[in-house]
Copies of this chain bind each other. A is one copy, B any other.
Amino acid sequence: MQALVRILGVDPGSRFTGWGVIESDGMECRYVDSGCIALARGKPMAERLAQIFTELGDIARNERIDEAAIETVFMNKNAQSALKLGQARGAALCALIMAGVSEPAEYSPRRVKQAVCGYGAAGKDQVSAMVARLLDHDGEFTEDEADGLALGICHAHHRRMAQAAKLALSQEEEAVS
């Protein structure tokens, strides 16, 4: 049994940045908090990026997170939207590092769906439903919240696999020596 780990999952976007915090004991995930940073429309872009930076930094500090995961970018986009998304991502990554997260993990949307739903082509509704089920949560999550939480679950899953592999390796080494 591992110590409890608090994981923040972030899905940055140029209009909405979804986030979710879960706690994992290495076996199960527990819901802690989630939400969506909605960028003020009509404000200059630099101010909107600073909003992501400030709010996400506050969340990371207030929720006392240990690790964080962020979504990699699906690259079938045009250069203009890739630039906008890049700016939001830059603000989010700066916020995480400045809040003390040493190395945010990155997962592709496909891998997140695989971890949460069991297959990488799952739809948005399926992700939301599975996130609520895995976290034993009654209410409904918004799409953005669910994406943030799914990233957290994916990271917990990845940590579990990595530790199981490490354990297996050390047992093998012990058996050999």
Residue positions of A touching B, CB distance < 8 A: 44-47, 49-50, 52-54, 73, 75-91, 93-98, 103-104
Contacts and interface: CB of A to CB of B under 8 A. Distances in A.
Contact of A97 (B50, B73, B103): B50
Contacts of A85: 83, 86
Give chain A's interface secondary structure class: helix
Contacts of A82: 79-80, 82-83, 86
A94 B94 contact: yes
A79 B75 contact: yes
Nearest to A53: B94
Contacts of A44: 103
Nearest to A45: B93
A14 to B, nearest CB: 9
Nearest to A50: B97
Contact of A78 (B46, B73, B79): B79
A90 B79 contact: no
6 contacts: A45-B93, A46-B104, A49-B97, A85-B86, A86-B86, A90-B91
